[in-house]
Structure 1
């Protein structure tokens, strides 16, 4: 029986499970592998990020967008990221916090993609 996301241990489980999927994915795996040499610090940062985002627990420091801005990311990368993320959550959890977690991931992906497109002039825009 599935439960909701209730605590830090649940966050560790879904972050670890999600990034195992990411590492083996043929589209986004190489993007991450090109910039992450040691996965442990990245995973620990993601635990803190989601703990702050979902439960309001202080501890996350960083600028996630700045880390992603230099990468050559396109809509298909964000679509795959969301597909893997949602599958990870849906495989283990159900409930209001699980839904909120997926909603926040969706908002973050949309915001990152929009900001990246605007940095590059946006669709159909030419920066002179």
Structure 2
């Protein structure tokens, strides 16, 4: 029986499974391979990010967009990221927080792609 996302243990479950899929994916795996040399700190950062985003737990520090801006990513990469993310959530959880995490992932992907498109159209190379 599936439960809802209730805390850090559940976050670790979906983050670990999701990034395991990412590393094996033919489209986005190579992008991550170029950007992430050590997965342990990346996963720790993702636990903190989602714990802050979903449960307002302090501890996350960083600028996620700034990390993604220099990457050669397009809409198809975000689309695949969302497919894998939603699949991971749906395979493991059910409930209000599971729906909320998927909504937040959708919003984040749309925001990142919008900002990247703007930067590229206006030939902006740095992020303040």
Same fold per superposition (TM over 0.5): yes
1:44: which partner in 2? 44
2:17: which partner in 1? 17
CA RMSD of aligned residues (A): 1.3
Q: CA deviation at 1:25?
A: 0.1
SS of equivalent to 1:86: helix
Q: What whole-Å deviation, never above 9, does each CA across 1:53-74 have from its counterpart, x for those lacking one?
A: 0000000000000000000110
**Whole-Å separation in 1 of the counterparts to 2:113 and 2:76:** 10
Q: CA deviation at 1:35?
A: 1.3
1:84: which partner in 2? 84
2:97 equivalent to 1:61: no
**Whole-Å separation in 2 of the counterparts to 1:115 and 1:94:** 31
| TM-score, normalised via structure 2 length | 0.94
1:93: which partner in 2? 93
Q: Give the number of aligned pairs.
A: 124
SS of equivalent to 1:120: helix
Moved over 3 A (4+): none
1:28: which partner in 2? 28
SS of equivalent to 1:98: helix
2:102: which partner in 1? 102
| TM-score, normalised via structure 1 length | 0.94
**Whole-Å separation in 2 of the counterparts to 1:101 and 1:93:** 11
- In structure 1, the gaps of 5 or more residues are none
**Whole-Å separation in 1 of the counterparts to 2:35 and 2:99:** 30
- In structure 2, the gaps of 5 or more residues are none
